Amino acid sequence: MAKRRSIAIALTHWAVYARTAVMGIVAYAQQHPAIELQDVLFMDHRELPDLLSHRAWDGAIINLTKPDYEQIKDQLPPQMRCVNIGAGMVDPRVGAVRGITGEGSRVLLAHLRECGYTRFAYVGTRGEPIAESRPAYLNDLLRTAEGEVSAFFRDSVSDHKQTDAARRAERRLDAWLKRLKRPIGVLTWNGVHATAVLRSCERLGLRVPDDVGIASYLDEHACLLTHPQITSVAGGGSEQGYAAIELLHQLLEGKRVPRKPVEAGATTLFARGSTLNRTQTAHVVEKAIEYIDNNIARRITIEDLLDHLQSVSRATFYNEFTEALGCAPAQYIRAKRIEHAKRLLTETSLSITRIAGMCGFTSLTQFGETFKRETGQTPRRFRREAE
């Protein structure tokens, strides 16, 4: 007969994914009758050690950020096994379950691109390691010719209390957002940050989603209480909950804590008004960029682009493209050719002559002169220094 196990479910209920995680936890428990579940309600993570010490729990499912866990880890009952959902922490006492690495970024970026955005920015929480590392990951995914993702980090202050700190935070966010070239897609670490960006747009007279698109990494209540509602993703909370209690059960049976977080749960996109229904301008620019990307190896003229777009005048196209990307079509095409050439020079052993042709240059001389003018190096030297 299986040994009975008493498990505390100590999840922050304000997180939407925590509620879906409970569904997965319950599903596993129903398959293993020896597991007894009990909800532990708390308002502040600092209450958790006392609450978990009130009875002899065998283990607990928690969802703390890494800084919050570091603050209380030495106060937790020493015999208790825990599994944390969400933050990818590594601790010999605590197992970790998180969503599939990078999937939320890939899903949100693909959606924003489909909506016509070609520039991107990010708003995260200052002092939270995972949130602070996201811009570097986004830059690695994008590799855009338009420059790096602009990042802004907010302090954890309440937007509902109009303190001096909150007003200063609003002014800093307004100043940052005002400097960004538009249209732009802004990814935020959570719904609270997304709401703050939306309020900043209102103060600055910026249109959402025409000027600024907003998308959140967490599908929280805050995403549904705004107008327009905020586009967001959910990281498979039910699957993560199931994986978390399965891992906890294994730890209680003597298995060691895995050295890396367990990844579980596909990401679901909830597309809402903060990114949808963009104007026709966005679609014109999006189609032009798609054509350029697909034909980078051949000569591309404005006439080629106009033929592909149809029913758009030369002046309208030029103005819309330049306003959206901050550069003329010819400059964008040249930047994309150089970007493609850099990738081929560093990732393949193809000859420089071959690379010149694959990047749409009519001669090796033209390629060499353009590459050196744009990068300050010859293609051969660039390749040699990259090795």
- 169-189, pLDDT tens digit by residue? 899 999 999 999 999 999 998
> Global pTM?
0.59
- Which domains are present in the chain? 5-99+236-266 (3.40.50.2300), 103-234 (3.40.50.2300), 280-386 (1.10.10.60)
What value does the mean pLDDT of the chain take? 85
Q: Residue 1 has what pLDDT? A: 58
- Average of per-residue pLDDT across 271-294: 79
- 97-106, pLDDT tens digit by residue? 887 767 888 8
| Residue 326 binned pLDDT confidence (cut-offs 50, 70, 90) | confident
Q: Residue 93 has what pLDDT? A: 79
- Three-state SS annotation for the chain: CCCCEEEEEECCCCCHHHHHHHHHHHHHHHHCCCEEEEECCCCCHHHHHHHHHCCCCCEEEECCCHHHHHHHHHHCCCCCEEEEECCCCCECCEEEEECCCCHHHHHHHHHHHHCCCCCEEEEEECCCHHHHHHHHHHHHHHCCCCCCCEEEEECCCCCCCCCHHHHHHHHHHHHHHHHCCCCEEEEECCHHHHHHHHHHHHHHCCCCCCCEEEEECCCCHHHHCCCCCCEEEECCHHHHHHHHHHHHHHHHCCCCCCCCCEECCCCEEECCCCCCCCCHHHHHHHHHHHHHHHCCCCCCCHHHHHHHHCCCCHHHHHHHHHHHHCCCHHHHHHHHHHHHHHHHHHHCCCCHHHHHHHCCCCCHHHHHHHHHHHHCCCHHHHHHHHC
